[in-house]
């Protein structure tokens, strides 16, 4: 276990004054918002209340949320609403392409709600969106952030056959806290298997962790090692922020210095690139992280 990060005894603390995101503003921000609404498209930027939405949208970056806005799971950290989803929108691939062209995006991130109601988990829908983008915008890089598909290799293959440039799946938190965030502990190993299998099939793999739920530094290091042992190349580390009072409490807030130290520790495990900071989310600086993975 590394000794350069304080081994604190976590107690819930008030939100620090320095932890403030920009208020969404700017001509490009509202233009993108209007275009998304007119095409009935969602972004995880909106659904997950991402603190980087202003920065990303004004820089013509967005992470598209496909397969609807309703998730079949109800994780205690996520602001996406749980329930019974609607049927898959058949024209979604074209609508995503339209927005990519409007954004003039060179790097696109696509994620989804979990669709346990579908036999293939929506994996073929993922493939259709990726393939449609690549066929019409061959210079655009496509990263996908997928659900676990219950660890089914055949469903992961459905996505990989479309050849996304990056296959991401978030571990989210340390193993001990899985039950706390309303995830079975066995799902920790399932997520590692998803990442391991994807890497074995040649994918550039990526994962993300939230901090501030009461994990120890030793537990985070175990997660770093587990991810690297399963071939993960890219890692994001961000501060968990409670979406509503019904969600899991924030136990602690990490300082900028501690995030810098976590990045140093994680890089020591051999990741190609690590983004670590209070407002870092899965798709933050995604394009530059991919470039670093290709430079090695």
Round the CA-based radius of gyration of the chain to a whole number and report it.
18
- Range 46-68 average pLDDT: 64
Q: 186-200 and 217-229 are packed helices; what angle lies between their axes, rounded to 10 degrees? A: 40
- Range 40-51 average pLDDT: 51
pTM of the model: 0.84
Domain boundaries, the chain: 27-295
240-296 tens-digit pLDDT: 988 778 888 999 999 999 999 999 999 999 999 999 999 898 888 899 999 999 987
d(CA 241, CA 180): 15
pLDDT band with cut points at 50, 70 and 90 for residue 51? low
In this predicted structure, the answer to whether residue 11 has a pLDDT above a threshold of 50 is no
Q: What does the block give as tokens for 263?
A: 């990045």
- Range 119-127 average pLDDT: 97
Q: What does the block give as tokens for 293?
A: 């993975």
d(CA 177, CA 139): 40
184-236 tens-digit pLDDT: 899 999 999 999 999 999 999 999 999 999 999 999 999 999 999 999 999 99
| Residue 284 pLDDT | 87
Q: Which residue has the tokens 């995030």?
A: 259
Q: Which CATH number fits domain 27-295: 3.40.50.2300, 1.10.10.10, 3.20.20.60, 3.20.20.70?
A: 3.20.20.70
d(CA 237, CA 275): 6
- CB–CB of 49/244 below 8 Å? no
Burial class (CB in 10 A: 0-12, 13-18, 19+), 86: exposed
Q: Over pLDDT 70: what percentage of the chain?
A: 79
């Amino acid at each position: 276990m590394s000794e350069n990060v304080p081994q604190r005894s976590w107690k819930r603390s008030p939100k620090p004054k320095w932890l403030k995101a920009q208020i969404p503003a700017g001509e490009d921000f509202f233009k993108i918002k209007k275009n998304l609404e007119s095409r009935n498209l969602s972004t995880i930027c909106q659904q997950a209340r991402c603190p980087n939405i202003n920065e990303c949208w004004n820089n013509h970056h967005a992470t598209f949320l496909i397969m609807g806005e309703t998730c079949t799971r109800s994780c205690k950290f996520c602001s996406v609403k749980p329930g019974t989803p609607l049927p898959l929108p058949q024209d979604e691939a074209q609508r995503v392409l339209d927005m990519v062209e409007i954004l003039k995006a060179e790097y696109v991130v696509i994620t989804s709600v979990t669709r346990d109601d579908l036999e293939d988990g929506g994996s073929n829908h993922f493939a259709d969106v990726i393939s449609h983008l690549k066929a019409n915008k061959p210079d655009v890089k496509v990263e996908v952030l997928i659900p676990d598909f219950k660890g089914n290799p055949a469903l992961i293959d459905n996505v990989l056959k479309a050849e996304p440039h990056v296959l991401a799946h978030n571990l989210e938190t340390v193993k001990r806290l899985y039950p706390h965030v309303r995830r079975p502990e066995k799902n920790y190993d399932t997520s590692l298997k998803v990442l391991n299998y994807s890497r074995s099939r040649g994918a550039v793999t990526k994962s993300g962790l939230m901090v501030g739920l009461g994990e120890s530094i030793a537990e985070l290091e175990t997660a770093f090692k587990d991810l690297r042992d399963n071939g993960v190349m890219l890692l994001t580390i961000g501060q968990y922020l409670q979406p509503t009072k019904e969600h899991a409490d924030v136990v602690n807030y990490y300082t900028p210095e501690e995030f810098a130290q976590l990045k140093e520790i994680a890089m020591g495990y051999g990741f190609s690139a690590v983004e670590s900071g209070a407002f870092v989310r899965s798709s933050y600086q995604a394009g530059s992280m991919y470039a670093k993975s290709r430079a090695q």
